[in-house]
Amino acid sequence: MKTLEELKQMIHEKFEIDTATLKPDAPLADYGLDSLSLAELLFTVEEHFDVDIPDNRQDVNTLASLAELIDGLRVPQHA
């Protein structure tokens, strides 16, 4: 859950979207994120969490799936 909260905070800081309105399973498009702003978000995510999101996994469309993806990518680094 910690990753999800960090993500919410990041989206709030980057796009000024109220964290209270961010739902884990709602499509990111619902908040006005299009393919361009999603690309920016993923870049920031990579910088912040020090992960490298593979090209074939860049189709995430909810916060929950993005958090899951990040956690999955971070596990090997901590091992």
Partner 1 sequence: MRRRVAVTGIGLVSPHGETPDGVFDALLIGLSAITRWDEADAAPAAVARAPFDVTRWFTRLQLAGVDRVSQFAVAAAEMARADAGLNTLDEGTGVYLGTGMGGAAAIEEAFRSHQISGRVPPLTVPAFMANAAAAHIAMRAKLHGPVFTYSIACASSAVALAEAAKAIACGEVDCALAGGSEALLQPSALRAWQAMQTLATPALDDPSQACRPFSADRTGLVLGEGAAVLLLEAYDAALARGARIYAEFAGSGISCDATHLTKPDASGQARALAAALRNSGLAPGDIGYCNAHGTATRIGDPVECEALGRVWGDALAGLAVSSTKSMHGHLLGAAGALEAAISVMALHRRALPPNMHCEQPDPLCKVALVREAGMAAPHLRAAISNSFAFGGTNAVLVFRRSD
Task: Note the residues at the interface with partner 1 (CB under 8 A).
Answer: 14-17, 31-33, 36-37, 39-40, 42-43, 46-47
Q: Write down the least CB distance from residue 45 to partner 1, Å.
A: 11
- Residue 2 vs 43, nearer CB to partner 1: 43
| Beta carbon nearer to partner 1, 1 or 59 | 59
Please list the residues that pair with 27 across neighbouring strands.
62
Q: In this structure, are residues 67 and 5 in contact, taking their beta carbons and an 8 Å threshold?
A: no
Q: How far is the CB of 35 from partner 1 (least distance, A)?
A: 10
Count of beta carbons in the 10 Å neighbourhood of residue 56: 6
